[in-house]
Amino acid sequence: MNAILSQIYQERNLKQIFRKGQFFDKDKIEKINDVQILQGFTSVLQMGQSSPLLLIDFKTKVFNKQTVLHFIKENKKSKSPVDLQTFFENKTFMTIYSKRMYRIKSIDFKSNPTCKMESLDVSYEQYYYQRYKITLSDLTQPLLVHEDRKTKQTIRLIPELLYMIELTTAQKNNFKVMNNIKQQTTLDPLERSNKIENERTLLDKYFSNHSISISNNSATPAYKIVKPALIPEASIKQTDGACFNIRGKLIEQSNINNWILIHYNEEQQVASLFTQEFIRATKELGNQISPPRKVVMNNLDPAAWSQALLNNFNTNGKPQIVVSILDRHEDSKLYNELKKFLISVQGVLHQNVSIQTVDSKKFSKIAQQIVKQVHSKIGKQLWNIQKITEISEKIMIIGIDVYHKTLANNKSCVGFNAQFGQQSEKHFTKTIIVEKGKELNKGVGQLLNLSLQQYQKQNKQYPDTIVIFRDGVGNSQINDLIEIELKAMKSVIQQTYNIKLPQFAYIVVNKRISDKFFSSNNENNGMIFPERVTSKEFDFFLIAQQVNQGTPIPTHYTVIENTTNWNEDTFWRFTYFQCFNYRNWSGPVKIPACLQNAHTVAYRVGEVIQSDAHVSLESLLYFL
């Protein structure tokens, strides 16, 4: 059936690019400088519970037509150039001449277009002229190496003949370009729904030529979940939708009486403004704060900054937190080294504030958000959500996710976050570095065991209910997931509890879906779609996040193991309520907070810290 779909789009001159099922119209291209915006549709047939379902969605693709050679030359001119070997690893580019996609393994500085090709007795320069009539402009440019996954055969590609595809940092920081892109790619729900319906009608005509008919799109039952009450009610000011602001005292006060502010000596004015606004905002939220211990540096050497902090620790003891002020664009290496030194080596919390943020006209408002982040990092609550009475107080809620783009030794990082109680009063967070690309891992059993011991240590008993949210697993991997991870975790539970086992639920979460649901009254956050699903298990779609522009994409939840006494309504409310528990956003996030925490820590450790956090920080949200 999907082959017929591809044939239909080919007849309509829509080309399949980037991924299977994505078809773009070559005649509908919006151009913004070097950026092109392609328009088309995602169309794919997938199996439902009883019959095939045709999934159609309007699709745009932002495409950078700068060449890789242009990027290399611009990077050379930059004040803070990126490491090209690191940058190009696992990046995907498109050839100008054949429009094929290639994933890059490395950059070969020893080769250039005058070198002879591996399989032919001609140089790269000669080959491209003879085959494509292309004359290369730079014969000194290095070559990029692609390795075929199946054959392991390598080929070398010319940077001048490759499109970047992804936007560069400079393009992303160009407000005018990004604003134009936003206008071209954001559709309101009615516009999107009309485009999809028109496409469905058109496809129906083409399918009829193959003796296939598409049935009418029947209505999908949907339910609105009432959002949880938030405590303290006196300080919570509701905004549009489900988001809110906190004005006045937080539910739990903190005393920031031992903190360090470190900055470059040329940023004295910025540091003074930050200190003034940070102290003011802290007191406005009902907290106590003392002036910082200041460490002023006369250079930007990461080793010197680490040593200066270490000297301060040895003299005055370790602080509650270290706050650094760095340039967002120029000081990325210093930021990474500082984060690694404090979080992994010293076990000291770290909060970075960029110079650009302090210089912003809105910094007086932003300062309060920084206070909330610091407040959460040191282990204090900002707010509490309403408890669900039919759910036990002795619950442990776990999120597991994997980050695959880890820089160190091409490994992947598993993030594990356990919250104790419905209101996430306490936490246990741990990461493990695993083999590159390995999504499933028996090591999560050991992480579960550590979290159970931590829960028992804090509460003098084990939880009587355990709920696990697992992200990043496709439908094709669920059987392996059951055999590898779920089996290992159930074994740990059996060994820990022996006789009376806890209530247990294991839920697979999928964010990367194209399913959209349209409502005549534009309802979005808190909407549950429990029927017409694609799994034989108990599953549902939930839109938790507040969306003010465009069309919200739901998250798909599949309960693959369940020994609780909860009914469907309890699962729905519990999942939605947990989306309000993420401490870095005043409102519901797309997925439950424990899962968002797992994703954030996997990214932070895998991309920046690249080693386990100090054991003293495992009970704190150091990664926010």
**Which 3 state secondary structure label does DSSP give 151?**
coil
- What mean pLDDT is predicted for residues 472-477? 76
For CA atoms 463, 467, 470, 474, the dihedral sign is positive
Task: List Cβ neighbours of 175 (8 Å cut-off, separation of 6 or more).
Answer: none
Calpha distance 581→147 (Å, rounded) = 43
Instruction: Name residues whose C-beta falls within 8 Å of residue 362's C-beta, 6 or more positions apart in sequence.
Output: none
Say if CB 411 and CB 435 are below 8 A apart. Answer: yes
pLDDT at 456 (0 to 100): 94
- Please state, rounded to an integer, the average pLDDT across all residues of the chain: 86
Is the Cα torsion angle 178, 180, 182, 184 positive or negative in sign?
negative
Query: Does residue 438 surpass a pLDDT of 70?
Result: no
Tokens of 212: 């296939």
pLDDT of the residue at 349: 95
Q: Inform me whether the pLDDT recorded for 531 exceeds 70.
A: no
Closest CA to 160 of 121, 119, 132: 132
The mean per-residue pLDDT over the stretch 498-518 comes to 83
Q: Nearest 10 degrees: CA dihedral of 277, 279, 285, 288?
A: 180
Contact 268, 253 (CB under 8 A): no
Is 342 exposed, middle or buried (CB count within 10 Å of its CB: 0-12, 13-18, 19+)? buried
CA distance 216 to 140: 59
Asked if residue 144 lies in contact with residue 49, where contact means CB atoms within 8 angstroms, the answer is no
- Rounded to whole angstroms, the Cα distance separating 136 from 113 reads 8
What is the 3-state secondary structure of 192-255?
A: HHHHHHHHHHHHHHHHHCCCCCCCCCCCCCCEECCCCCEECHHHEEECCCCCEEECCCCCCCCE
CA distances from 485 to 435, 477, 500, 510 (A): 15, 11, 22, 17
- Rounded distance between C-alpha atoms, residue 156 and residue 145, angstroms: 5
Dump pLDDT digits (tens) for 241-268: 778 888 778 888 889 999 999 999 999 9
Percent of the chain whose pLDDT exceeds 90: 43
b/e map 223-254, b = 16+ CB within 10 Å: eebebbebbeeebbeeeebbbbebeeebbbeb
pLDDT at 425: 86
Listing DSSP states for 110-149 in one string gives: T--TTSBPSSSSSBHHHHHHHHH-PPPS-TT--EEEEE-T
Q: In whole angstroms, give the CA distance from residue 418 to residue 276.
A: 36
Kindly report the CATH number that applies to the domain delimited by 92-164: 2.170.260.10
Q: In this structure, are residues 600 and 624 in contact, taking their beta carbons and an 8 Å threshold?
A: yes
**pLDDT digits over 28-79, tens only?**
778 888 888 888 888 887 766 566 777 888 888 888 889 999 999 988 888 7
- Going from the C-alpha of 234 to that of each of 229, 231, 382, the distances in angstroms are 12, 8, 13
Q: Is the pLDDT of residue 532 over 60?
A: no
Q: Is the pLDDT of residue 113 over 80?
A: yes
Tokens of 622: 């150091």
How far apart, in whole angstroms, are the C-alpha atoms of residue 590 and residue 545? 5
In whole angstroms, give the CA distance from residue 542 to residue 407.
Answer: 33
Task: Return the pLDDT at 136.
Answer: 94
Decide if pLDDT at 591 tops 80: yes
| Fold exhibited by the domain 253-377 | Rossmann fold (3.40.50)
In single-letter form, the type of residue at position 186 comes to T
Give dist(CA 360, CA 121) in Å, integer: 59
Higher pLDDT, 449 or 18: 449
pLDDT at site 447: 93
How do residues 593-614 score in pLDDT, each as one tens digit? 999 999 999 989 888 888 888 9
Q: What is the pLDDT of residue 419?
A: 95
Q: Does 409 score more than 70 pLDDT?
A: no
- Could you tell me the CA-to-CA distances from 207 to 7, 8, 13, 40 in Å, in that order? 10, 8, 16, 18
Q: Averaged over 310-338, what is the pLDDT?
A: 90
Q: Which segments of 48-123 are extended strands (E)?
A: 52-67, 92-95, 101-108
Residue 168's pLDDT is 83
Q: What would the pLDDT profile of 558-577 be if each residue is shown by its tens digit?
A: 898 999 999 989 999 999 99
Read off the tokens for 274.
């930050």
Is the pLDDT reported for residue 362 higher than 70? Answer: yes
Reply yes or no on whether the pLDDT at 216 is more than 70. no
Which DSSP state fits 622? Answer: T
Higher pLDDT, 410 or 611: 611
pLDDT at 89 over 80: yes
364-374 pLDDT per residue, tens: 889 989 999 99
Q: Is 473 exposed, middle or buried (0-12, 13-18, 19+ CB in 10 A)?
A: buried
pLDDT value at 534 more than 50: no
CATH 3.90.1640.10 fits 389-617, yes or no: no
Q: Mutual orientation of helices 268-284 and 363-377 as an angle, nearest 10°? A: 70
Indicate the pLDDT class of residue 480, thresholds 50, 70 and 90.
confident
Name residue 540's beta-bridge partners.
Answer: 557
DSSP label at residue 263:
E
Note the Cα 329 to chain centre separation in Å: 21
**Per-residue confidence (pLDDT) for residue 576, from 0 to 100:** 92
Asked if pLDDT for residue 232 goes beyond 90, the answer is no
User: CB–CB of 418/398 below 8 Å?
Assistant: yes
Share of the chain above pLDDT 70, in %: 92
Would you give the end-to-end CA distance of the chain in angstroms? 45
Q: Domain-by-domain residue ranges, the chain?
A: 2-66+173-208, 92-164, 253-377, 389-617
